[in-house]
A and B are shown apart, each in its own frame.
Chain A
Amino acid sequence: MSTAQSTKNCITLRGSAQIIVEYLKYGINSILFQRGIYPPETFENTQQYGITILMSKDKKIEEFLANVLQQTEEWLAKNMIEKISMVITNAHTKEVLECWDFKMQAELGDGETTDSTKLTSSKELKRIQSEIRDVMRQISATVSYLPLLDCICTFDVMLYTLQNCEIPEKWDETGAVFIQNAQAVQLRSFSTGLHKVDTVVNYKMAS
């Protein structure tokens, strides 16, 4: 019982990475639905963080996200990721229309140990989830001011990792994306105690 007591409200680096990856999964799916990248009939309702989130039923997207997020979790647990970008591009012209940045900042947690691999955070999961919920709500609300995507669009997820990071199989190095005439809006942030996640949406100003 005593061990259970001591580990009750403890989040490890890996746990924090899991929480963030879960947020990314729901966030990306929500963006895909809200921005109309894929037809709405390919989404289904899911309850998460106390709100309804629409998740894609497309097998390809599910597989892609699973692959990407698995790697993301691995790297996040080692604090090797600077930020994660979800890039929305025009399928025909390859023009970058929107870029959703999820910036990761490592935090010290409770600061009990100096060993970076054994850091823990005692932040309550409920609080973290409520913070995430606020961000998710904001993501849904962005539709009101983001410009309409009136062309066939597609998306990609890019990870900004450290230079010494090894590139696994099936992964490629690519260049950073830039949006012409961009406007940036920062949404709320949330923190697991070990990672602070800023969500920023960059979009092309309607000329």
Chain B
Amino acid sequence: MENIKSNFDKIMEKFNDSLTHSAPKKLNFEYLNDSYNDSGTLPKKRRHDNSQLSCDNVSNASISSIPSSPWETRRIKADLIEAKSRISKLKIEIERQHKLRAEVETLYESKVSELKKQCEFSSNKVQDVEKHLQVVRKREQGAKQELLRTQRELTQQKHHYEEELHKLQRAKLEIEDHSRQVQNSMENELSEYRRHTDKLEMELELVTDEMANLKSLLNEYKAHTSSYEALKIEHEKEQQELEVANSRIKELEYQIASYEDWKEITKKSQTRLLSIPDMDKELERLRTNNKNLQELLGNKLLLEEQVHDLKKRLAREEGGRNEAVALQVKLSHMEQELKEWIKVAQDHCLPNMLVSPMALRSRIEQLLQNDIIMISEKRNTQSETKSVKSELLDYKQKCEIYVKNIEELNVALKKHKNFKDRIQRKLFFVSKERDCYKQLLENFEKDLTFSTANNAADGAAGDVQLRTRLDMLEKTLVGYKDMCSNLEKELTNAKQLPVADQTIENVVSTEVYEHTKKELDTMRLENERLRRRKEELELELEHRCLKGDFNVGKFKVVHFAQNPAAEAYENSNNLIEKLQAEIERLKRRNKKLEEDNEVTQARLNETTNMTINIKEMNQLRAELDATNSKMKKMKECYKSASMEFREVCYLLFGYRIDRLGLNTNYKLSSMYAESPDDYLNFRLNESNHALDMLETPYSVTLKPLIESQLVGNKSLPAFLSALTLELFQRSTVTMS
């Protein structure tokens, strides 16, 4: 706004100047152009400027050239008036502008005050904010300090961790070294074991070779043993033969000895033979003696038998006597009985007849015969009664039949009687009917005659006649009615009649009826049967229908050719074929395997041996480890023991014995030696187990002692003890 104002002021000043000076002057419209560039009045101003310019030019021209004519003055005046009007216009414009300016200024001031207020408010705010900022700064400083502290801590921790890292790295390196060492050692061990296993394998091979050798040897030995056994058997056989021969020889010897005995015996027997005749004589004598004795013996036996017989007889006699007594008793008893019998016979026999058993028998026989006759008679009568009874029964049956017949006949008779009654009644009715018809006929005839006579008679008599006729007719009517009722009755009877007739007929044709009845029954049964059959068939039909039975003639069954079933069948067939082929193959293979069974068996054995070998190897390895560790322990133990032993020897005998190298050399250094170089050297002579003393620089100095003890006494212990004593004395001397 100020800018606008200043610009405007400047313009105004310049304009005023141009007016007041009225000197030809070029106006500067820079500001105007600058400030009113975007205003709507610009084209007008331009025009105005142009006009101004042209006016200026005119004025310039008028000033430069003196007005010469009134036209020109007039023109100038007009111009002037024009300019003046323009000035007034501009002034008005300026005033308007001033007003605007004042308004703008007031607006501006109000705005300034507002801004000032705002400024104050903002300054207050700024102060607050500054205070806050200070607080914040303080906090920031605190935070910074903390940050520093934490950074320091961090660095410390970092250092700490780095150190730790270093340590760990070092540890790691160490571990790596260690592991490498371990690995190396492991590798060494492994190579050792490998070597060991190689060695073992070599040994194994050797052993197997040896085994093979041993086997061959064994076979040889076996052959030897078999030959040896054969030899043995032969030897045994020979021995047996020898024994047999020996026994034979002994037998022969025995025989020889027995022969000599026999010779003696023969001699003796010859002597005995010479004494035979005497002996014969004696023999005969003895024989006779013997015979006598035998005879005596026979006699004695005979006597004994006789005695025995007599004894038996005696016993029998005694028994007989006893029996006789008993029989006598019995006899008396029997006689009594006989008497009784005789009495009985006398009672029964005829008085004139002699009493005897025969008579009694005949009597009894007679009685018996009578008995028999009576029995036969009785039987006859019994049979007769039976026959009579049967006849009676027959008659009874017949009688019953007759009674039945009679009853039937009676029934028939009754029926016939009924029938007869009915027929009679019928007859009666028929005759009545006939009478009736006859009467009717007569009436009609009378009527006819009456009518013919009527024509001749006069009218008065006609009425009477008509009346009588009417009565007559009524009578006949009643008669008809009666007849009607009779006929009706007859009809009812007749209705009943056929049934009766039928029954009669049935009675007559009972057989036919029975037959028909039977037929009916059979038909009925058949009907039942057929019905049942039909029902069964229906059920079956239904069942079949359910089951899927169908009328083959009416329908046909179709199915899709490529159905799963067909596929499955094919697959299964293929599978079966395949399996059969495989079976064949396997069979062949089996055969082959059976043929190569031995080979495979051997192979199998090999494989098992291999596995066993590996197992063995592992076992051996484990054993090796165990033994190695044991050995180490033992070594340590021995070492400590040997050290101890050496120490003890040194303390007891005053010499330290060191073994030098592998040459069985021993170095002796005394406890009392003056320098470590003073030592003796010995060597074990293995041939005669003796120690040879070797020359050392120190031994050279001990010549007299060697000569006195070793050469003279030939004793190493003595020499050593002497040396010890000497050295001891020397040391004590020096000490003292």
Residues of chain A at the chain B interface (Cβ within 8 Å): 60-61, 64, 67-68, 71, 82-83, 85, 87, 89, 91-92, 94, 99, 101, 152, 154-163, 165, 167, 170-177, 179, 182, 184, 186, 200, 202
Contacts and interface: CB of A to CB of B under 8 A. Distances in A.
Contact of A175 (B557, B560, B568, B569): B557
B556 A182 contact: no
Contact of B562 (A64, A91, A152): A64
Contact of B558 (A60, A89, A101, A172): A172
B558 A174 contact: yes
B559 A156 contact: yes
A176 B551 CA distance: 10
Interface stretch (B106-114, B311-319, B542-550): B542-550
Given A83-B550, A155-B563, A161-B558, 17 more contacts: A61-B564, A64-B562, A82-B550, A83-B548, A91-B569, A155-B564, A160-B556, A160-B557, A161-B555, A163-B555, A165-B556, A170-B562, A176-B557, A179-B547, A184-B543, A186-B546, A202-B548
10 contacts: A82-B554, A83-B550, A89-B565, A91-B569, A101-B548, A157-B559, A160-B557, A162-B554, A179-B547, A184-B543
A158 B559 contact: yes
A159 B564 contact: no
A172 B561 contact: yes
Contacts of B553: 163
Interface residues of B, number: 26
Contacts of A99: 548
A167 B564 contact: no
B568 A154 contact: yes
Contacts of B568: 91, 152, 154
B558 A171 contact: yes
Contacts of A71: 560
A91 B572 contact: yes
A91 B181 CA distance: 71
A1 to B, nearest CB: 44
Contact of A160 (B550, B564, B569): B550
Nearest to A94: B569
A147 to B, nearest CB: 16
B552 interface: yes
B368 interface: no
B546 A156 contact: no
B567 to A, nearest CB: 8
A171 B557 CA distance: 10
A182 B554 contact: no
A173 B565 contact: no
B566 interface: yes
B297 to A, nearest CB: 104
A154 B154 CA distance: 80
A101 B556 CA distance: 15
B557 A156 contact: no
B564 A60 contact: yes
Given A156-B563, A156-B565, A182 B547 contact: yes
Nearest to B571: A91
Q: Which of B560, B563, B576 has the most CB of A within 10 A?
A: B560
Given A154-B568, A156-B565, A170 B560 contact: yes
Contacts of B566: 156
Contacts of B559: 68, 156-159, 171-172, 174
Contacts of A172: 558-561
Interface in B666-715: none
Nearest to B551: A82
A154 B548 contact: no
Contacts of A61: 564
Contacts of A159: 557-559
B517 to A, nearest CB: 46
Interface of B: 543, 546-548, 550, 552-569, 571-572, 576
A72 to B, nearest CB: 10
Contacts of A202: 546-548
A182 B144 CA distance: 100
B557 A155 contact: no
Contacts of B569: 91, 94, 154
A175 B568 CA distance: 18
Contact of B565 (A87, A160, A184): A87
B94 to A, nearest CB: 89
Contacts of B556: 160-163, 165, 173
B724 to A, nearest CB: 104
A200 B546 contact: yes
A203 to B, nearest CB: 11
Contacts of A94: 569
Contacts of A184: 543, 546-548
A13 to B, nearest CB: 20
A32 B373 CA distance: 108
Nearest to A87: B565
Q: Which of B543, B547, B567 has the most CB of A within 10 A?
A: B547
Nearest to B575: A92
A101 B546 CA distance: 9
A61 B568 CA distance: 12
B566 to A, nearest CB: 7
Nearest to A158: B559
Q: Which of B543, B547, B558, B568 has the most CB of A within 10 A?
A: B558
B555 to A, nearest CB: 5
A174 B553 CA distance: 14
Contacts of B546: 184, 186, 200, 202
Contacts of A60: 564, 567
Q: Which of B562, B565, B576 has the most CB of A within 10 A?
A: B565
Contacts of A162: 554-556
A173 B556 CA distance: 7
Please name the 7 residue pairs, one residue from A and one from B, whose CB atoms are nearest each other, closest first: A154-B568, A156-B565, A91-B568, A184-B546, A156-B563, A154-B565, A158-B559
Nearest to A93: B572
Contacts of A167: 558
B119 to A, nearest CB: 80
B565 A200 contact: no
A75 B349 CA distance: 132
A137 B162 CA distance: 79
A167 B569 CA distance: 23
Q: Which of A160, A161, A162, A177 has the most CB of B within 10 A?
A: A160
Contact of A64 (B543, B550, B564): B564
A68 B560 contact: yes
B555 A155 contact: no
Nearest to B554: A163
A166 B168 CA distance: 94
A25 to B, nearest CB: 14
B546 to A, nearest CB: 4
Contacts of A91: 565, 568-569, 571-572
B20 to A, nearest CB: 103
A63 to B, nearest CB: 9
Contacts of B552: 176
A182 B547 CA distance: 8
B560 A157 contact: yes
A58 to B, nearest CB: 9
B717 to A, nearest CB: 102
Contacts of A64: 560, 562-564
A83 B576 CA distance: 34
Contacts of B548: 83, 85, 99, 101, 176-177, 184, 200, 202
Given A99-B548, A158-B559, A184-B547, A92 B564 contact: no
Contacts of B550: 82-83, 160, 176
A123 to B, nearest CB: 25
Contacts of B558: 158-159, 161, 165, 167, 171-174
B545 to A, nearest CB: 9
A94 B568 CA distance: 10
A65 B548 CA distance: 22
Contacts of A101: 548
B544 to A, nearest CB: 9
A40 to B, nearest CB: 17
